[in-house]
Copies of this chain bind each other. A is one copy, B any other.
Amino acid sequence: MESAIDRHLQCPRTLSRRAPDDYRPPFPIVVARASEDVTQVVMAYVGVQYRDGEHRWEALEALRRIVDDFALDDGPGHHDTTEHRDAAGYDNLVAVGYWRDPAAYRRWRDHPQVAGRWESDERIDGLGFFREVVAPRVDRFETLYPFADDLPGVGAVMDGVSGEVSEHAYWGSMRDRVPRSQTDRMAPDGTLTALPDPARPDRVVVRGHDNVALIRSGQDWSRTEPGERELYLHDVEPELREAMDFLRDRGERVGCYSNRYVRNIDLDGHPLDQTYAISHWRSLDRLERWAESHPTHLSLFVAYVRRARRLPLLRLYHEVSVVEAADQSYEYVGCHPATGMLRDAESII
């Protein structure tokens, strides 16, 4: 049993861990580990938005171009591709790339092909584009996996996994796994600010505030047997969908700026047996309160726990980041005004 906080990130606490020292969790969980040279990672969600089915082909073409760009020098060490419909009824295709080095990300972003495409004023009729990038330092994110191979998300660009960790299976363990929680409550500060570009009216940048929290919470039923698959899709997934619909449609009242329940797809747009929720929150506190107390999420939790032993091959995992304002960047081109972080941002104009 070891701490989820890697040895080189441990420091004298000024804030208590919630679990007592002798706490022993009821089942095993591991976290991703990176060597000490990793000091900050980058998670870049690059999206294509369209409304009518007739634009799906152009949107998929645009998604493939993003993934082609990922293959350039300094591209991400790992990526995946998804689709989802948002609250405004638009469809969105998103490629997320993970980098273990922010300098490499910046070089990639500034590559003439990538920058040229992003900065171009040429528009493809019917498509919007966005880039939502967070770059948490290593003391500002945590992961959680009940499996140790083929890690999805940020785990795929790290170097391995821990042994069994102590900090899980209790409310508050998410915070206890974030190294910075040893000394910092990570309280939010300020608001989201929308900065339209007067010269280019279809572009908006949203400036984040300190300690925005981002959770990616994933479900992978691709390895399940038919009975387990049916159990998940029939008895658990509908509860997940209800919780996700709540956050998508009414998240503002609980501090959720944006929630996307996305389906993994291949580059032809065919669905894979994997989904995840990607959601941005005003603070880790607000995420904790919702997860621990909202009836939709607790119903989901109960639905899963009651069936967990019959879902041995279902893979659930998550990654949570709490990010400084300067390490967030949200950019929208030709997107509808409730896209992502735009919805809750205050315009300063």
Chain A residues engaging chain B, CB cutoff 8 angstroms: 15-16, 18, 20, 22-23, 169-172, 185, 187, 285, 288-289, 292-293, 295, 298-299, 301-302, 305-306
Contact = CB atoms under 8 A, between A and B. Distances in A.
A293 B185 contact: no
Q: How many copies of this kind of chain does the complex include?
A: 2
A16 B14 CA distance: 8
A99 to B, nearest CB: 32
Contact of A295 (B15, B16, B285, B306): B306
28 contacts: A15-B16, A16-B16, A18-B18, A18-B172, A20-B185, A20-B187, A20-B285, A22-B187, A23-B285, A169-B293, A170-B288, A170-B289, A170-B293, A171-B171, A171-B172, A171-B292, A172-B172, A292-B292, A293-B305, A295-B302, A295-B305, A295-B306, A298-B298, A298-B301, A298-B302, A298-B305, A299-B302, A302-B302
A293 B27 CA distance: 13
Contacts of A15: 16
A28 B187 CA distance: 23
Nearest to A306: B295
Contacts of A302: 295, 298-299, 302
